[in-house]
Amino acid sequence: MTQNIRQSVDGDGIAVLLIDVVDRPMNVATPEFLRQLESCVDQLAGNPSVRGVIVASAKSSFMAGADIKDMASMFERGITAAEATQFSANLNRIFRRLETCGKPFAAAINGVALGAGFELALACHYRVLADEPKAGVGFPEVKIGLLPGAGGTQRLPRLIGVAEALRVMTEGTQLGPADALRLGVVHEIAPATEIVERARRWSLGSPDAIQPWDRKGFRVPGGAGMSTPAAAQAFMAGTSLTARATMRNYPAPLAILTVVYEGTQVPIDTGLRIESQQFGRLLAGPVARNLMRTMFVNKGQADKLARRPVGPPKTQVRRLGVLGAGMMGAGLAHVSAAAGMEVVLLDSTVDLAAKGRDHARQQLAREVERGRRTQQEANSVLERIRPTASFTDLADCELVIEAVFENRETKAGVTGQAEAVIAPTAVLASNTSTLPISGLAQASKRPAQFIGIHFFSPVEKMPLVEIIVGKKTSEETLARALDYVAQLRKTPIVVNDSRGFYTSRCFGTFLYEGMQMLAEGVIPALIENSARMAGMPVGPLAVADEVTIDLQWKVIRQAQEDLGKRFQRPISYDVVRRFVEELKRPGRRFGAGFYDYPAGGRKRLWPALASVYAPAAKQPDAAEVGMRLLHVQALEATRCMEEGVVTTAAEADLGSILGWGFPAWTGGALTYVDTIGVREFVADCDRLAKRHGRRFKPSRWLRARAAAGQAFHAAPMSPAA
């Protein structure tokens, strides 16, 4: 018996290794667990009274995979590719020892087996999976910039064929019980209460079990390499499709194709060495570091409310008020009701409020159709949304969020009406995306209980919420806002007040730069395609249409009114004004913008753009356009750090990826700067400033960081517990 594995042997000589990794909610392959597993295998292999071994779990799931916290910390220790290769080779040695030690091993998989947990199961000679909705197997490594590094790239294609194995690994999808059985990934599915007994029954009858790939004359199902049309097609099409999907910004999918192609044409031990070499290259590279640090470590901390003030007691919103039943308000009502809250959805008329509830009805109907909810559950959610036109219905709400038109006077009006009826302890929040919270709080009689809670559209899909602290916002109000976001299971970042805050301010530079390029004569298709090649989900002109050029014009004019002589025109001012006021093409919602939106057809760039902004004789290359678009966003993120709008690099990175779609491969806007190197980034910006204008000119503060070699992520990572 060991600390992480409980071992027992029954009267028939069947041993059970019960995995229970200490101090972890789910089993993960920690270095200590692996050492103990190797010791158990050696001990059982040398015990003649043991006839077979069952690997099972004492927790609610089998194993979540390798210890990502440990891998993430390797970067801070300066891991080399050779050391990372050895990390994978050690895993392969242990699992290879397990499957060749002479004892039959069976895996009783009671929940999910992911990553290294799935690889452990594949190293066993027999697999029984619980026939439960939450059970499943898969390789999610590609999502953190890695490939399966404990034999997965070699065992899975040898088990189910190249094409299916590549799909499972490059998509990072989880196979449910039925699909796992259909593909031959597991041998049986059974009720969770029976899986250990089923594994035991097989063990008693299979004393001489051997893996298929260790039998003489073994061939990969369907062929390997270019030996058969099916395998050749999988590699040729897979390489092309993967390159197009990733724009070659993510090395892991192509590395998986390489390892499977090379490794399945040689004996498995050679294939495992090839896998370890590629895994080491990825693990020591910047993309895996960036993805793990931001999307696992830092996101985990944010989800656990790392920025929540310690003093205020934990709260829960039971009754929420939403002012405005438009797209944002309706989405807010839906997600809040789905989280169990009673929602009062208010608009100027009951019919408009009811129309907002209909949005939730439509969303819920899709969930029922797709099997994500029962009709009874959908009905319960809908019943929790109460449409109204009366402010008195807000009386019992603990939190009220206004999501009305982006106009200071309109917001001030509903603020006063809401405060006249809500309880003295209630919090009032604004969902504004650009207007300073401290300015909006001037319409409140209780500014300490006024805060910004900025959601992103569509609310149901976007995972980020930007919490904006005004000058007078109290710590208790901040804590209550964060508690509400936690109820929704979304990821919060906390920023200080500023026009545009953090996300809208930085995102705006992407739109404005794209429009400026258009005005300079850069071909529109080059702008859009270069943005996608750099990793942005869509081009700046398409995004401008989606959020509407009209809205940008309203935001610009509101800023002009608020700031007076201090107002500085954004570089896109003339383009925005021209499209809204002269060309009458204010965006997709109005049927026309930078793109045309033909009825029943796909959108396309407006053909007349070339007559409005004539293409320049000399065009930049795609790499230059992409760098210009990413650098302008990252530079604005550094300014937000300098000004204290965003106070941690971790939140700046999360906000950029989850909020406005900055490429995930970069790790976020500030990690992007760190990956390039602060000195080189400043030099790039100086070159861009000479070519394109002062907006690219680095500040003295950033130059000082560059001179000192001070990265934004200088401190060691503190992985989420």
Q: Whose CA is closest to 638, among 564, 721, 588, 712?
A: 712
Q: Whose CA is closest to 43, among 12, 7, 10?
A: 7
Q: What 3-state DSSP class applies to 350?
A: helix
Query: What single DSSP character describes residue 587?
Result: B
Instruction: Report the distance separating Cα 394 and Cα 412, nearest Å.
Output: 17
- Kindly provide the b/e burial profile for residues 330-341, where b requires at least 16 CB atoms within 10 angstroms of the residue's own CB: bbbbbbbbbbeb
Instruction: Find where tokens 């899709």 sit.
Output: 366
Cα angle, residue 630 at apex, residues 625 and 632 outer, rounded to 5°: 95
Identify the active-site residue in 125, 454, 631, 713. 454
| 187 noted as active-site residue | no
Beta-strand ranges (E) seen in 374-445 are 385-388, 399-402, 427-430
**Residue 682: CB atoms within 10 Å:** 22
- Kindly provide the b/e burial profile for residues 646-666, where b requires at least 16 CB atoms within 10 angstroms of the residue's own CB: bbbbbbbbbbbbbbbbbbbbb
Residues 6+ apart with CB under 8 A from 473: 437, 441, 447, 448, 449, 450, 451
Tally: H helices and E strands in the chain:
31, 19
Distance (Å) of CA 3 to CA 9, 57, 93, 592? 17, 14, 21, 65
Instruction: Find where tokens 């042997």 sit.
Output: 9
DSSP strand pairing (319-323 vs 188-190): unpaired
Catalytic residues: 454
